[in-house]
């Protein structure tokens, strides 16, 4: 696939989000790329086609999205899936029984559930480890890949991608990075040596909590071919309308992320000084252990904050009392969401691992949106005051 003139133009990220430097336009040069809501494409003659055959395999709207996402992640190829989990599941289909993967211990609960159930059933073996502190000891002859998020969901552990990539390259194993939390606005793992980048497109990339999607970005032609075969064969690709919604979301990705991050820093500072909050975990705070690595490998810190309060009762009371923003699962949209990882995003994580990672009944996770930061702070102050006095 030809991703056009963009690489020669070398435009900035904000400009890339407009997708205007792609050669792929529809036949009428529509500025908003059309939704090709069709299952199939007709052929005038045997052996002659438009480049499209059947939408499970490929579709112009989805292809346009894939082109834009490849551009944003500085990748050669991108594939769009019906959800983030469909993307992770497709990547797992690259492996065969007996293959061994090293996966980080702190990950989105759905990914852990996939590995523990479906991938394990398919004969793939896993070592769960803190990959940020090195993987050499876990590598076996059958090791095929390392899988991580950075920062992780929800504990915000940070891994030095470049340092890890040196090790994976030396051993000929793949480095797979779920880049959902920072989005390509703030981090491009392929540039740091990763082989495969995964996104829940549901989050920052689409950005409006109105569609579900997943993306995989990579440079390797052979792996791209295998993933396309997997996608076509399993029928996991993104639908045309969802592709269009995601394309529309991308237009504001840069401005949304910049604003959400600005808000997140203010809220993290506020929570830090609040007597109601016992711990704030945000990689944009200089005391965060991953702060210096983040400064080296990312251009921003994102807008995800985890924090602890003094008791389970207090945490639940916060969720019961918030009004200006929502108690809901998910992240990365324009509205602020507050999540209870214990019963929501990380309910599927085995209890032992959850406890080891610190996902307690006092932990809350915040996806900071683009509202007025002072309004969000005032809302926290109101909620905390309603619940009661600090110890
Ligand atoms: C880091 C991360 N990766 C993957 C996923 C899965 O994405 P989806 O919900 O789009 O299937 C999520 C969902 O919350 C996530 O937070």
pLDDT at residue 21, as a whole number = 58
Cα distance between residue 84 and residue 253, in whole Å:
18
Nearest atom within ligand 1 for CA of residue 345: 14
Task: Tell me what the mean pLDDT of segment 305-330 comes to.
Answer: 97
Whether 101 shows a pLDDT value over 50: the answer reads yes
Whether 8 shows a pLDDT value over 50: the answer reads no
Higher pLDDT, 159 or 11: 159
Q: Whose CA is nearest to atom 8 of ligand 1?
A: 84
Residue 298 alpha carbon to ligand 1 centre in Å:
20
Residue 25 banded pLDDT, cuts 50, 70, 90: low
Q: Whose CA is nearest to atom 6 of ligand 1?
A: 84
Whether 5 shows a pLDDT value over 70: the answer reads no
User: What residues flank ligand 1, with Cβ below 6 Å?
Assistant: 83-85, 108, 110-111, 149, 153, 178, 180, 200, 202, 212, 214, 345
Share of the chain above pLDDT 90, in %: 91
Residue 249 alpha carbon to ligand 1 centre in Å:
17
Residue 226 alpha carbon to ligand 1 centre in Å:
22
Best of 82, 110, 199, 215 for a ligand 1 pocket test (most atoms within 8 Å of beta carbon): 110
Task: Tell me what the mean pLDDT of segment 162-186 comes to.
Answer: 98
Each residue's pLDDT tens digit, 332-362? 999 999 999 999 999 999 999 999 999 999 9
Higher pLDDT, 186 or 22: 186
pLDDT at residue 1, as a whole number = 40
pLDDT at residue 108, as a whole number = 96
Domains of the chain: 254-386 (3.90.1150.10)
Catalytic (active-site) positions: 56, 108, 178, 203
pLDDT at residue 22, as a whole number = 60
Query: What string of DSSP letters covers 90-145?
Result: HHHTT--TT-EEEEESS--HHHHHHIIIIIHHTT-EEEEE-GGG--GGG--TTEEE
Each residue's pLDDT tens digit, 189-244? 999 999 999 999 999 999 999 999 999 999 999 999 999 999 999 999 999 999 99
Best of 80, 84, 236 for a ligand 1 pocket test (most atoms within 8 Å of beta carbon): 84
Residue 13 alpha carbon to ligand 1 centre in Å:
23
Whether 30 shows a pLDDT value over 60: the answer reads yes
Each residue's pLDDT tens digit, 34-78? 999 999 999 999 989 889 999 999 999 999 999 999 999 999 999
Task: Tell me what the mean pLDDT of segment 102-120 comes to.
Answer: 97
Q: Whose CA is nearest to atom 7 of ligand 1?
A: 84
Task: Tell me what the mean pLDDT of segment 304-327 comes to.
Answer: 97
What's the start-to-end Cα distance of the chain, in Å?
Answer: 61
Cα distance between residue 285 and residue 45, in whole Å:
62
- Residue 183's region, left for phi above 0, alpha for psi from -120 to 50, else beta, is left
Best of 82, 85, 183 for a ligand 1 pocket test (most atoms within 8 Å of beta carbon): 85
Residue 20 banded pLDDT, cuts 50, 70, 90: low
Mean pLDDT of the chain: 94
């Amino acid at each position: 696939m030809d991703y056009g003139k963009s690489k020669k133009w070398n435009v900035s990220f904000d400009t890339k989000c407009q997708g205007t430097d792609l050669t792929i336009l529809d036949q009428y040069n529509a500025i908003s790329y059309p939704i090709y809501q069709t299952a199939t494409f007709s052929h005038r003659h045997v052996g002659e086609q438009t480049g499209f055959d059947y939408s499970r395999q490929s579709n112009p709207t989805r292809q346009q999205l894939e082109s834009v996402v490849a551009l944003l992640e500085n990748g050669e190829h991108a594939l769009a899936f019906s959800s983030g989990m469909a993307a992770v599941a497709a990547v797992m289909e690259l492996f065969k029984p007996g293959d061994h993967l090293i996966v980080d211990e702190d990950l989105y609960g759905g990914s852990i559930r996939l590995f523990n159930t479906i991938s394990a059933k398919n004969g793939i073996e896993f070592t769960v480890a803190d990959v940020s502190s090195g993987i050499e000891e876990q590598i076996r002859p059958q090791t095929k890949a390392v899988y991580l998020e950075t920062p992780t969901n929800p504990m915000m552990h940070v891994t030095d991608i470049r340092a890890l990539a040196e090790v994976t390259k030396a051993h000929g194993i793949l480095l797979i990075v779920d880049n959902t939390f920072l989005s390509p606005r703030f981090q491009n793992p392929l540039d740091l040596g990763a082989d495969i980048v995964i996104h829940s497109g549901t989050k920052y990339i689409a950005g409006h909590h109105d569609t579900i999607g997943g993306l995989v970005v990579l440079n390797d032609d052979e792996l791209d071919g295998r993933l396309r075969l997997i996608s076509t064969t399993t029928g996991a690709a993104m639908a045309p309308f969802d592709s269009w919604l995601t394309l529309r979301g991308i237009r504001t990705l840069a401005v949304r992320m910049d604003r959400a991050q600005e808000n997140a820093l203010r809220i993290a500072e506020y929570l830090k000084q609040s007597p109601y909050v016992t711990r704030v975990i945000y990689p944009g705070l200089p005391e965060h252990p991953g702060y210096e690595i983040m400064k080296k490998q990312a251009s921003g810190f994102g807008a995800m904050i985890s924090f602890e309060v003094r008791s389970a009762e207090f945490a639940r009371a916060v969720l019961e009392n918030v009004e200006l923003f929502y108690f809901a699962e998910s992240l990365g949209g324009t509205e602020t969401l507050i999540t209870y990882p214990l019963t929501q995003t990380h309910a599927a994580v085995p209890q032992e691992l959850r406890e080891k990672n610190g996902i307690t009944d006092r932990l809350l996770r915040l996806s900071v949106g683009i509202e007025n930061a002072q309004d969000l702070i005032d809302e926290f102050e109101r909620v905390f005051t309603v619940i009661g006095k600090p110890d």
